[in-house]
Structure formats: structure tokens, C-alpha cells
Amino acid sequence: MQLCFATNNAHKLKEIKALLGTNFELKTLQEIGCNEELPETTDTIEGNSAQKAEYVWEHYGVNCFADDSGLEIEALNGAPGVHSAYYSGERNHARNIERVLKELANEDNRKARFKTVITLTLSGKSYSFEGIVEGVIIETPRGTDGFGYDPIFVPEGYDQTFAEMTLEQKSKISHRSRAFAKLVLFLKDHS
């Protein structure tokens, strides 16, 4: 089965190819001729994920899956959420972290969660898969691996931030890997 993964992120592509095995021919956006920026104009993570997958199906006629992720902080009413990448007004990890820490400066409730939603569009019908990892936001960034909010997020049951973990350690418990595991199971059952 031919599938497009609506990403140009080579790392994500390699990761999912390994999970899917040889039953699937995985294509990038570039490989199907999609060079435009995919729309992400909804106000939810679920909505953006669906919007991207459905856009590829509608404009290119290719079965597709897309993901969207965000950090949801309880004390900030779920913010930054769908706006995680541009929370400081620009796509800047350090400034985004700075804004979160400033907003939580006088807050005792540091509960947060990372959420990924993957939408798979097969022959025009959409399916959704969610992965969540609960944790807390620490006061000072730690670690140099990972990206985004990884230096300030400690997953439940651990004492290291995502940025202090190896990629292999993080991949075993991350929100993205949990959502992808559900997608892979679904695809293997339907191939």
C-alpha cells in the first residue's frame, strides 16, 4: 500500500518507515509533488492534524497521514497547546520556553502533558490516533538533546527531562511514539 506521510522531517520519516516494515511504500510530500505549505489553521491539535491529511487526499488523491503535537499545561488552561511552536510569537524554542517559565513563575501547579494526534485519511475516510505523556514543567531547563519544550518537561515516573534522555529512551515513552504505535497497529490490521 502506498501512503504519504505529510512531513518533510527526515527523522520522523525514518522512524515511521522502521515501524511500518515492508508492506507499505511510504512517500514524502516532496515525492508526491506537494511543495506548498500545508494548512494548519484550526484552533486544535486534532483539527490541524486532520486538515493536513485531508488536504493531501483532496489535492493529490494519495492516502496520507499527518501529525500535530502540542504541550498542554494545566495551570495555563491547556496553553500553549495548538500554538506550542509559536507561543512566543515566533518559531523560537528558547523564547517559547522563556514565556512558559515566566507565566508559571508564581504557580505551584506544574502539571502538563504532551499530546500528539495523527490523522490517517484512507480513500477519503479519516481515522484519528492520539498519544499522550503526562508530566510536569520544571523551573530551570535541563539537558541538550531533543527540541522544543523538552528541556523543561519531566515525564511522569522519571526524574530526567526529555532533553536529558537519549533519543531511544524518549522514543519508548513519548507522545509521538504512542500515537504512531496505534497507527501502525491499525495499518497492519487493514493491509
Specify the amino acid at residue 141: P
Total domains in the fold of the chain = 1
Q: What is the pTM of this model?
A: 0.91
CATH number reported for the structural domain that contains residue 99 in this entry: 3.90.950.10
C-alpha cell at 6: 505529510
C-alpha cell at 149: 519544550
Rounded to an integer, what distance in angstroms lies between the CA atom of residue 97 and that of residue 158? 20
3 state DSSP class of 86: helix
Do residues 173 and 155 touch, judged by C-beta distance below 8 A? yes
Do residues 70 and 82 touch, judged by C-beta distance below 8 A? yes
C-alpha cell at 43: 484552533
At 10 the pLDDT is: 73
* Residue 106 belongs to domain spanning: 2-189
How far from the centroid of its chain's Cα atoms is residue 159's Cα? 22
* Residue 37 DSSP symbol: P
Indicate the average pLDDT of the chain: 92
Q: Which pLDDT tens digits describe the chain residue by residue (191 residues)?
A: 889 999 877 767 777 777 777 778 889 899 999 999 999 999 999 999 999 999 999 999 999 999 999 999 999 999 999 999 999 999 899 999 999 999 999 999 999 999 999 999 999 999 999 999 999 999 999 999 878 999 999 999 999 999 999 988 998 899 988 999 999 899 888 76
Rounded to an integer, what distance in angstroms lies between the CA atom of residue 42 and that of residue 91? 18
24-61 pLDDT, tens digit each: 888 989 999 999 999 999 999 999 999 999 999 999 99
Do residues 56 and 32 touch, judged by C-beta distance below 8 A? yes
Q: Which of 68, 108, 150, 189 is catalytic?
A: 68
CB under 8 Å to 153, separation ≥6 — which residues?
Answer: 71, 112, 114, 135, 136, 137, 138, 161, 162
* Residue 107 DSSP symbol: -
68 is catalytic: yes
At 66 the pLDDT is: 96
β partners of residue 85? none
Rounded to an integer, what distance in angstroms lies between the CA atom of residue 1 and that of residue 23? 7
